[in-house]
Amino acid sequence: MASGPWGPTLPKLQDAAVEVTAPRSVGRPAIGRLARDPAFLVGAAIVLFWVFAAAEWRLVSPYDPFAVSASQPLTSPSRTHWLGTDDLGRDVFSRVLAGAAPVLAVAPTATALSLVGGTTMGLVAGFYRGLVDDVLMRLLDAVMSLPVIIPATLVLSLTGRSSINVILVVAVLFSPLVARTVRSAVLAEREREYVDAARMRGDRDLFIMFFEILPNVASPILVEGTVRVGYAVFTAGTLSFLQLGIQPPSPDWGLTVAVERAFVQIAPWAALAPAVALATLVIGLNLAAEGLRRTLAE
């Protein structure tokens, strides 16, 4: 059963993963349905906005997000500084735009790594069953026996705080979860005739796993990936807030909230703006993922 820390939307997801076992291609009809799903469109628009900000903040931000101005710290929002300035006189609006970049670099990279690792583990466990499967599943129980934040805090505070380490820690902690989804899809696939046919032909196991079965379990992996990105943003943002990831003077949202928390009573905008930005990003990601999941499950 789905235990807590791995998040509220998981159980439904697994149901979806089990349902979507018949080979199907993500073709035109699915894309057409997605294009008519208002929740998906709103979510995708929000995500695209932040991706644009992350890529092009140098062009669109009104000020240099790193430019310190000692003469105007913590000024309130005005026509010159739309969202005010922070404790070092930097423009909050520019920093919010630029702050999309670190999290949108860390979370998708960590997710991609966890998908690669998790898919490999899931394919091997589901295909061979037996001892390999048992060992992997026990390992999964051990990883899942702590809420993600606890092992991540231990590892990062003791081995070094940086974006690279956040990516690695999140990837390692997430890959068993991906493995579980992939494994359950593979268990259903491996009993189908085409797998027997491939065996008869004398295809090697690795070929069957990666070229015969993998394409047929692509859609649950895709859904898992989109949901995982949302959780990766959640986790990476939280680790930044705990100051275990990227360090000042980065405009990263989580880090900024942690630093500007000290000034909430005199300049609440400096902490509020990046918090609201992160909230919109995760909601956007979740709406898009939910739309995708529904479409693929239909």
Binding site residues, other proteins, CB under 8 A: 1-5, 7-9, 12, 39, 138, 141-142, 145-151, 153-155, 157-159, 230, 234, 237-238, 241-242, 254, 257-258, 261, 264-265, 268, 271-272, 275-276, 278-279, 282-283, 285-287, 290
Q: How far apart are CA 132 and CA 125, in angstroms?
A: 6
Q: What's the closest the beta carbon of residue 20 comes to other proteins, in angstroms? A: 19
Comparison of 3 and 247: residue with beta carbon closer to other proteins: 3
Judge contact between 237 and 100, C-beta under 8 A.
no
Q: What's the closest the beta carbon of residue 29 comes to other proteins, in angstroms? A: 22
Comparison of 112 and 137: residue with beta carbon closer to other proteins: 137
Q: How far apart are CA 82 and CA 115, in angstroms?
A: 40
CA distances from 199 to 22, 120, 124, 192, 196 (A): 20, 20, 16, 11, 5
Q: How far apart are CA 65 and CA 57, in angstroms?
A: 9
Q: What's the closest the beta carbon of residue 263 comes to other proteins, in angstroms? A: 10
Comparison of 86 and 212: residue with beta carbon closer to other proteins: 86
CA 29 to centroid of chain Cα atoms? 27
Comparison of 188 and 272: residue with beta carbon closer to other proteins: 272
Q: What's the closest the beta carbon of residue 275 comes to other proteins, in angstroms? A: 5
Q: What's the closest the beta carbon of residue 231 comes to other proteins, in angstroms? A: 8
DSSP 77: P
CA distances from 244 to 7, 110, 158, 239 (A): 22, 16, 10, 5
Comparison of 44 and 287: residue with beta carbon closer to other proteins: 287
Q: What's the closest the beta carbon of residue 73 comes to other proteins, in angstroms? A: 18
Comparison of 9 and 69: residue with beta carbon closer to other proteins: 9
Judge contact between 121 and 136, C-beta under 8 A.
yes
